[in-house]
Amino acid sequence: MSRKKIVIRTALATSLFAHAGASTASNGNMVPGSDRHNFNIFCDVAGKQTFTVANKKGLGSLQVARNIYVTEADDGRKLITFKHGVTVASEPGSYTAAENENCRFVER
């Protein structure tokens, strides 16, 4: 099974999604494929991990993510909204990425 990875540079997220053919909703741009597949989310600033949704011990219900949307805020930050869970992504969640923060969305 191939793994797809989408890297979001906060300043380029909107144009990346537009060119990737992502769907647009009132709540932002959907990460392509996140409506059909489980994803991991990894965010970092200068290589230091700041937020993770991944299959790692101790993360509780932050194991898988689906229906991931990225919305650009007026101040340059990105709001990431998603469904999360242990094996089934059903709980709503969100994360606000700083302007200089990079987030990767990796299909599992």
> How confident is the model over 17-33, as a mean pLDDT?
62
| More confident call, 88 vs 19 | 88
3: amino acid identity, one letter: R
pLDDT at site 14: 37
Strand, coil or helix: what is 15?
helix
- Inter-residue contact 107 to 4 (CB < 8 Å): yes
Angle at CA of residue 15, ends 25 and 6, nearest 5°? 85
72: amino acid identity, one letter: E
Element (H, E) at 70: strand 64-72
**What Å distances lie between residue 88 and 31, 48, 66, 82, CA to CA?**
18, 28, 9, 12
Domain count, the chain: 1
Structural domain including 14 reads: 5-107
**pLDDT averaged over every residue in the chain:** 79
pLDDT at site 37: 95
pLDDT tens digits, 68-104: 999 998 888 999 999 988 877 889 999 999 999 999 9
